[in-house]
Structure 1
Amino acid sequence: MTFLTKAPACLLAMLLATTAHAEVESTDPIKLTLHDWTGQLITTTIMGDVLKKAGYNVEYVQADYLAQFAGMRTGDLDVAMELWATTAKEALDEAVATGDVVNMGETGMKAIEEWWYPSYMEESCPGLPNWEALKDCAEAFSTPETAPKGRYLGGPVTWGGYDEERVEALGLDFEVVHAGTDAALFAELEAAYQRKDPIILWIYSPHWAPAKYEGKFVEFPAYSKECYEDPAVGLNPDMAYDCGKPSGPIYKAAWKGVDAKWPGAAKAIRAFTLTNEDMGAMVGAVDLDGKTVEDVAADWVAKNEAIWSAWIK
């Protein structure tokens, strides 16, 4: 009796699985890259969960943020879900120009990455947020290890960002120190903020930090592509990178073969969008509330079927 009761359920499950995979063009795994910050892990896991809902086989591969383009050019990696205009646009454009990588469009999120300081630092550096104030009060941001130079806490080296080049080009008396991980970057901010210690560091949005802490982004000379490429452009006639970081969309990219091998998945990847507000809340749920990336992504998928189901139709 037990067997007869369970058998139809088993057969139904097999039928559903067969039906789910019937429209999948290939059962080979779609390799999605993972990096070293919470938001990217969430974005990629949501995309992976949705592709799995459509019956695709998904594999997550840890990859270097900029070096991943080499893997996408050869087809060893298939999809990158977060390429920030602030740090990866140049590498993305170069990869797309080879014909081996495809820009899969914007994620809907807008990137801001810049030097940021807590508002209490304006007491010791009153000219802020104007960047020129840093010329007169670099020592206010110093630590015993960098004094008399100010200390700028940058993101992990793999993020790029040209901070060392900017410090030199603008003549800032700062030493750039890179955090080992995304988590270490914000742990140091939390510790400094609680003690009102001097700190200036790389902050980005979408993220929970700009909402949680009172502070401002430094206002550097406006970014231009020419400022990064031509030393003659900008304040320093002899050096490039004498301007602020770019801001703009966060893109998706894929190996050129994804369109032909998994056209349904490619359509879903192009359709994927999230807002800065949604992402900031999800990153906070992981970093502040202790939830796992997997649980936060699954929760978003469970609550937003009306959105993602349209991606895979």
Structure 2
Amino acid sequence: MIHVITESSEYGFEWLDAENPSDEEIDELTRKYSLHHSSIKDWRQPDHLPKFENVGGYAFIIFRVHAEEVTMEADTVPELTDSVAIFMNEERIITLHRKAWLAPEAIRNSQKEQNTCSNTHELVNEIIKVCLTTYEEPSIKLTSDIEYYEANMFLKNRKPAMLKGLYYLRRRVEVTRRVIMLSHDIMEKIDTPEQGNANTRDTRDLFVKLQNIYDTLFENMNQLVMIYFSISSQRTNEIVRILTLFSVFFMPLTFIVGIYGMNFRYMPELQMKYGYPVTLFAMALITVGIYMWFKRKSWL
């Protein structure tokens, strides 16, 4: 469905917004406004990464906004983000997106009050800024999730599915960080020395802020995974240590039992009246001696 957000008679430029357009509507836009087929093909790819290029008489931008609803096991670009295609020239802006997007109406209403967009370049800057703000709330959620896993990692009541949750959490951070990082070229083309102003610098500041936030989240996530494996390795070493201590206790006892279990006919100890209790006493004495030795070495 194609909506006319602004008209050239009122603002000096036109803004057309197409929400989940059909093939017939795409063909109509392509024919009427001379949109390049390669750009339409790029937008139709659900996992296409952010880009900025000049095609024909338009500047073509693909920007990805963070999805409103994300499942716990979402770990791909299409699952975590939605693409918005922007065609821009001096006369008009055309935006294409598949899912419902409240930004056009919100931007138009804000511009009626503030009137900060005097041309299409400034309007695209506002669109990019609104797209970037969709990453702020997910960054807070990711920070909370990392703190949750960090707190539970050091508790004894650890859940078995923690490693799976860490994997998907790391993937979400990594994919989102990569999408923001690949949007750098778009920011360079929006905030240029020739066309830059206070508004474009605000957008760049927001971009840098989000980039630093997700870089920090990515580093924290990597450290958290390393801590998890370190703790797992420490637990394994502790189990092996305990099992080794038990084996040391039983090694001499097994040796004694093995000697007297050979059943040779001429073994003088077998004829001793008190041979059995003496052997048991010796075994108990060896066990106590090993225990005291481990205590002195602080191994127990």
TM-score, with structure 2 as normaliser: 0.23
| Structure with greater helix percent | 2
* Bigger-Rg structure (1/2): 2
Higher relative contact order (CA 8 A, sep 6+): 1
TM-score, with structure 1 as normaliser: 0.22
| Structure with greater strand percent | 1
